[in-house]
Amino acid sequence: MRPEHFRITRVMIDGGREVCLRLSGDLDGDARDELRQELFDAAHDNDAPLLVVDLHKTLFLDSEAIGALLDGLLRAQEAGKAAQIVNARGVVRTVLQVTGVLDLFGATAESSVGLGGPGGATILPLRAPRGRPDAAARRRRVT
């Protein structure tokens, strides 16, 4: 079995005022469906007014992952949440600039206030939505 090539971690931060998806690794076609589902869940199963996608550890985004990202962030806005991309760097930032995604979602190089490391906001555990397995149980391992 080969190790995962991407990871999606969802946390509530800043006292529950932000729901954050932390993406890491290579987000390509293999990540598309899980990313789309995680974004949908983050938009609809909590009362946080802000959805933040943290790309600090993202190494690669392809067009399918960008499509899922756009779809999910637009769904968050439709659900009444502000949506923001943070920590896009290097080639990931370049891809997001070329595609216009940075302009759409106000991406910044820095984290939101709640994403600051030590001394930052307390991370709250997520509750699994009724009738659905928790996010950790849905993680897909690529073999």
CATH label of the domain that carries residue 80? 3.30.750.24
For β-strands 6-13 and 50-61, DSSP reports them as unpaired
What's the pLDDT band for 107 if we cut at 50, 70, 90? low
Query: Does any domain span residue 50?
Result: yes
Query: Does any domain span residue 24?
Result: yes
Domain residues for the domain of 29 are 8-115
Query: Does any domain span residue 125?
Result: no
Query: Does any domain span residue 14?
Result: yes
Query: Does any domain span residue 94?
Result: yes
Global pTM value: 0.74
Count of the separate structural domains present in the chain = 1
Q: pLDDT digit string (tens) for 1-54?
A: 334 799 999 999 988 899 999 999 999 999 999 999 999 999 998 999 999 999
